[in-house]
Amino acid sequence: MARFTPRMVLFDLDGTLIDSVPDLLVAVNAMQDELGLPHRSEASVRNWVGNGIERLVERALTDDLHGKPEAALFERAMPVFKRHYAESNGKHSCVFPGVHEGIAYVKSLGLSVGCVTNKAAAFTLPLLQDMNLLDQFETVIAGDTLPMKKPDPAPLIYAAGWFKVHPSEALMIGDSISDVKAARTAGFSIICMSYGYNHGEDIRNYHPDAVIDSMAEFPNLIGRAS
């Protein structure tokens, strides 16, 4: 018997559907060049993503996961990063193995499907389009759709309302502690991907309902509600 029988499934974007770190790395180091600062490594950027581009820029400027740069430097850096990221977005990213199969399976069950991300819509929609995923989702809730973003539960609750689904009938697919916190507070079930971005920590430490290596495993976990 399936462990989850939701009416709606929401997918996180970065680290869940798409490996976007290569695009972000190009933009980070172009920003660093323009500001006369040292390049950052791919490993560092991979550790820093997941909380929106503002936090990524802060971390890149300080070379620290918890870093906060001087306000004047941050104000200079943000438009520079956005300009370079608009150029690199979608050029080096790739869809994780199993994603297309997983989404196809969920849709074959007749479930409502959406995407919820902390990435701004100006970057989210082109990336999904470039990766041939945009048409798979009935709604996309980006990081600037609402005043709050994950780990706040508001985007998940908004999606449940949009689909007219009770949170107890909703499933989140994510990869990070922000996804787990948002799902728990919203009343969603949550499956996490083992390969995602979680600041170097094993997502199992945060006790999602299940952890899998590929969305191709969905048939073993997700079924149609009776």
* Averaged pLDDT for residues 135-150: 97
CA 59 distance to own-chain centroid:
18
Residue 2: is its pLDDT beyond 80? no
pTM as predicted = 0.94
CATH of range 8-19+93-220; options 3.40.50.1000, 3.30.930.10, 3.20.20.70, 3.40.50.300: 3.40.50.1000
CA-closest candidate to residue 11, choices 129, 87, 114, 84: 114
Task: Scan for tokens 């972000």, then name that residue.
Answer: 24
CA 139 distance to own-chain centroid:
15
Strands (DSSP E) along the chain, which ranges?
A: 8-11, 18-19, 94-95, 112-116, 139-141, 170-174, 189-193, 210-212
CATH 1.10.150.240 domain span(s) along the chain: 21-88
| Catalytic site includes residue 213 | no
What is the band of 157 on the pLDDT scale with cuts at 50, 70, 90?
very high
3-state class (DSSP) for residue 190? strand
Side-chain-side CA neighbours of 55 within 13 Å: the count stands at 16
What is the spatial distance between Cα 175 and Cα 191, in angstroms, rounded to a whole number?
Answer: 8
Q: Which architecture does CATH list for 21-88?
A: Orthogonal Bundle (1.10)
Catalytic residue among 12, 14, 23, 179: 12
* Averaged pLDDT for residues 192-211: 95
3-state class (DSSP) for residue 21? helix
Give, rounded to a whole angstrom, the gap between the first and last alpha carbons of the chain. Answer: 11
CATH 3.40.50.1000 domain span(s) along the chain: 8-19+93-220
The share of the chain scoring above pLDDT 70, in percent, equals 99
